[in-house]
Structure 1
Amino acid sequence: MSAQALLLRRVVAAVFTLLATAVVLFAASEVLPGDAATASVGLDATADDLAQRRAELGLDRPWPVRFAEWLAGALRGDLGASTMTGEPVTSVIAEPLGSTALLVGITAAVTVPLAVLIGLVSGLRPGGRVDRALSAVSVVVVSVPQFVTAGLLVLLLADLVPLLPAISLPPLGGTPLDKPSVLVLPVLALTLFGAAWAGRIVRAAVIDANATPHVEAARLAGLPERVVVLRHLLPSALPPCAHTFAWLLSGLFGGTAVVEVVFNYPGLSQTLVAAVRGHDTAVLEGVGLLLAAIIVAAFTLSDLLVVVADPRLRAGAG
C-alpha cells in the first residue's frame, strides 16, 4: 500500500471515529438521570414549570433532530449554548481549554525529549548499571498513582521546602504565564509519570532497532556512533515511538484532571465538574468532542511522521 493510500485510510478512519464519538456522547447524555431542565428549575418546580423549561431548552424535541442540529453546528465550529448560563459553549470552555492546553504543551515539550533520552541511554546498553537504575526508578514512578505523586510533590517542594506554591492559581485576571511558578508542580507531576512510561517503550524500540541489520552494517562501516544513532537507529525506532507519544498526548489531556484538582489549577476539570453538577450536557458534549478531535489528530499526525521517517513507506509512495 502506498503512503498516500495509507494516510487516506487514516483520515477516513479519523472522520468515522469522530462521528462515532459524537453519537456516543449525545446518546450518553440522553440516558443520564435527570437533565438540564430539572437541574435549572429546582426541586419546588411544578410539572408545568419543568415542561416549559424543557421547551425553552429544546429538550422536548426528538433526540435525532437535536443530534442532527448539534452535529451540523459542530461542523461549523458552533458547539451550541450552555444550558446553565446560555453562553456559547466555545466561550465557556475557551479560557480553561487554553490553560489545560498550556499545561499539556509544556509537559509534552519536556516529557518527549526526556523520554527519548531515557530510552536511548537504557536501550543502547541494556542490562547495564544505568539501564537497571533507570528501569527501577521508572517502574516505581509508573506504579504510584498520579494523585499520590502530586501530593508528595506538594509535601516536599511546597511544605517542607517552600520553594513553589502549593496552589496553582494565576494572578487575578491574568494567565498562568503571568506567574510561571504555578506551572512547575503540575508539569513536574505529569512529566514524572509520562517520561517514565514513555521511556520504557522507547527503550524497547531502541533495543529492537539496534539489532536490525542496517544498523549493524552502519557500525561495521565505521560510521561515528552519533551518525548511526541519528540516521539509522532513530528512524527505525520512530514508528512505535510516534504512536507512543500520541498515546502520551491523549493521556496527558485525560490525566490533567487529577493534577488540576490537586493543585486547583484553572483548567478544563473545573469546567467539567460544574457542568456535571448542573447537567450542562451542551458543555459536556462540546468538551468531549473537542478532546476526541485533539486525540484523533495526534494519532493521525503520528501516522504522518511514520510515513515521513520510514524509507520503505516513502518508496511505496513513489
Structure 2
Amino acid sequence: MNHAALAALAVRRTAAAGLVLVALSVLIFAATEVLPGDAAGTLAGADATEAEREQLRRDLGLDTDPARRYIDWAAAAIRGDLGTGYVGRREVVEVLADRLPNSLVLTTLAMAVAIPVAAAIGLVAGLRAGRRADRAVSTATLVAVGVPEFLVAALLIAVFAAGLGLLPEVSLVPLGGRPWDSPEVLVLPVAALAVAATAAAGRLLRASVADIAATPYVEAARLRGVTGVRLALRHVLPNAAGPAVQVVAVMFAGLVGGAVVVETLFNYPGIGYELQQAVANRDVPMVQGITLAMSATTLTVLLLGDIAHLLLNPALRGRA
C-alpha cells in the first residue's frame, strides 16, 4: 500500500470513528437525562423547598431544552471543555488529569500480565486444534470469560486478603499519593482485571492460530520437519501479528469497561471509581464528561488496532 492509499484509509477509518463517537455522545447525553433521581433535588438536600429546587435547576441550566443543552455540551467538548461537576464544582478535565494516570497504570499492568499468557494459551491451543490440550484450554478460558469481574475480585479478596492476609482488601492510597507508591495495593485489582482479559484474548488468538496452522504454508513447514517452538516462532507468530494487534486493542477496550467494576470494588482511585461516584451522586456533567472521554479513548485504540491490522496483513491491504 502506497502512502496516498494509506492516508486515504486512515482518513476513512478516522471519519467512521468520528461518526461513531458523535452517535455515542448522543446516547451518553440521552442516557444521563434519564438517570434516576433529580440532580437539583440531590444537591439542594432533603430540607430544601420546591422554590429552592426550581432556582437551583435554573442556576444549573436544567430548565432549558435538552436539545439545546446537548448542542452546548457537544460544542464545549469539541473545544476541550468537558464541563464542571455539580459535586465540589470540579472541572471534569482536571479530574481526568488526576485519575487517568492511576487507571492507565492499572490497565497497563493488567495487559502486561494478560498478553504473554494469552499468547501462550492461543499458541498451545491453536497448534493443537481439536486435541486434548485444545479442549482443556477452551473449556478453562470459556469458564473464565463467563465469570464476572466482581466475582473474580471477591474470590481474590476472600483468598489472598481475608483468608491469607497477604494483600490489602482495598486499594487505599494516602492523600496526594499514587498507587505505585504502595505496589501491594495494585496486585489484586490487576489480577482481577487480567483474568477475564487473558481468557478472552486467549480464545481470540487460538482461533487465529488455528486458521494459520491449517494453511499450506505451515503444513509445508511441518512436512519439512519444523515443529514445536520453532514452528510457532518462525511460521505462525509472524502471520498472527495482524490479528494479535486487533486482539490487544479489543483487550484494552474490555479492560476499560472492567476497570469501572474493579476500581469500585477495591476503592481504587481511578477514572472508573470516579464514574461510579458521579453516578451515585447524580453528578450528570461528571458522568457525561468521563464517559465521553472513556469512549473516545477506546475508539482511538480500536482505530489504531484496525489500521495496524491492515498494515500487517498484505491480503487485507489489497482489499482496503
Q: Is the TM-score greater than 0.5?
A: yes
Partner of 1:67 in structure 2?
70
Which residue of the partner structure matches residue 271 of structure 1?
274
Once residues 33 and 145 of structure 2 are traced to their aligned partners in structure 1, the CA distance between those partners, rounded to angstroms, is 37
Aligned match of 2:246: 243
Query: What are the Cα deviations for residues 264-294 of structure 1, in whole angstroms up to 9, with x where unaligned?
Result: 2222333223222322110000011011101
Give the whole-Å Cα distance in 2 for the aligned partners of 1:216 and 1:33: 59
Aligned partner of 2:20 among 14, 17, 22? 17
Whole-angstrom distance in 2 between the partners of 1:250 and 1:220 = 40
Cα displacement (A) at 1:206: 0.3
Query: Which shows bigger deviation, 183-192 or 153-162?
Result: 153-162
Residue by residue over 1:162-212, the C-alpha shift from the partner in whole angstroms, topping out at 9 and shown as x without a partner, is 222222212343111001111111111111221122112211110111111
Instruction: Return 147-156 or 232-241, whichever deviates more.
Output: 232-241
Distance 2:159 2:304 in 1: 38
- With over 3 angstroms needed to count, the CA separation of the structure-2 counterparts of 1:172 and 1:23, relative to structure 1, is same
Q: Is the 8 A contact 1:171 1:179 kept in 2?
A: no
C-alpha spacing 1:80/1:7, structure 2 compared with 1 (3 Å): same
The verdict on how the C-alpha distance between 1:49 and 1:160 changes in structure 2, with shifts beyond 3 A counting, is closer
Compared CA separation, residues 30 and 142, structure 1 to 2 (3 A): closer
Residue 295 of structure 1 is matched in structure 2 by 298
CA distance in 2, matches of 1:213, 1:139: 29
Number of the residue aligned with 1:95? 98
Residues 1:111 and 2:131 aligned together: no
Question: In the aligned structure 2, how far is the partner of 1:105 from the partner of 1:155?
Answer: 25
Compared with structure 1, are the counterparts of its residues 31 and 91 closer, same or farther at alpha carbon in structure 2 (3 Å cutoff)? same
Q: Decide which moves more: 179-188 or 25-34.
A: 25-34
2:288 matches 1:282: no
Q: Report if the CA contact (8 A) 1:36-1:84 is conserved.
A: no
Q: Please say if 1:159 is aligned against 2:153.
A: no
C-alpha deviation, 1:242, in angstroms: 3.3
Classify 1:29/1:315 alpha carbon distance in 2 versus 1 (closer, same or farther; 3 Å): closer
2:314 aligns with: 311
Give the deviation of 1:300 after TM superposition.
0.3
Pick closer, same or farther for the CA change 1:159–1:28 going to 2, 3 Å.
closer
Q: Structure 1 CA distance, aligned partners of 2:32 and 2:195?
A: 35
CA 1:221 to 1:155, structure 2 compared with 1: closer, same or farther past 3 Å? same
Q: Identify if the C-alpha distance between structure 1 residues 315 and 140 changes in structure 2 by more than 3 Å, giving closer, same or farther.
A: closer
Partner in structure 2 of residue 184 of structure 1: 187
Aligned to 1:81: 84
Alpha-carbon distance in 1 for matches of 2:68, 2:199: 47
**What residue ranges of structure 2 are gaps of 5+ in the alignment?**
none
Tell me the alpha carbon deviations over residues 247-277 of structure 1, each in whole angstroms, 9 at most, x when there is no partner: 2211111112222233222223332232223
8 Å contact 2:169–2:266 — kept in the other structure? Answer: yes
Counterpart Cα distance in 2 of 1:121 and 1:163: 32
Q: In 2, distance between residues paired with 1:57 and 1:258?
A: 30
Cα distance, 1:314 vs structure 2: 4.6
Counterpart check, 1:257 vs 2:260: yes
Cα 1:30–1:140 change in 2 (3 A) is closer
Count residues with an aligned counterpart: 317
Tell me which amino acid in the other structure corresponds to 1:77.
G
Preserved CA contact (<8 Å) 2:84 2:90: yes
Matched with 2:151 is 148
2:253 touches 2:302 (CA, 8 Å); kept in 1?
Answer: no
User: How far does the alpha carbon of each residue in 1:58-80 deviate from its partner, in whole angstroms, 9 at most, with x for none?
Assistant: 22322233222211221122101
Q: Distance in 2 between matches of 1:119 and 1:171?
A: 40
Counterpart AA for 1:198 = A
Q: Secondary structure at the match of 1:171?
A: coil
Q: Output the aligned Cα RMSD.
A: 2.5
User: Does the 8 Å contact 2:264/2:276 carry over to 1?
Assistant: no
Q: Deviations over 1:214-265 (max 9, x none)?
A: 3334455677866654454234334444333322211111112222233222
- TM-superposed deviation, 1:157: 1.7
- For 1:157 and 1:47, the matched residues in 2 are separated by 50
Partner of 1:120: 123
Instruction: Give 5+ residue unaligned stretches, structure 1.
Output: none
Aligned mate of 1:200, from 193, 199, 203: 203
Whole-angstrom CA distance in 1 between matches of 2:134 and 2:28: 44
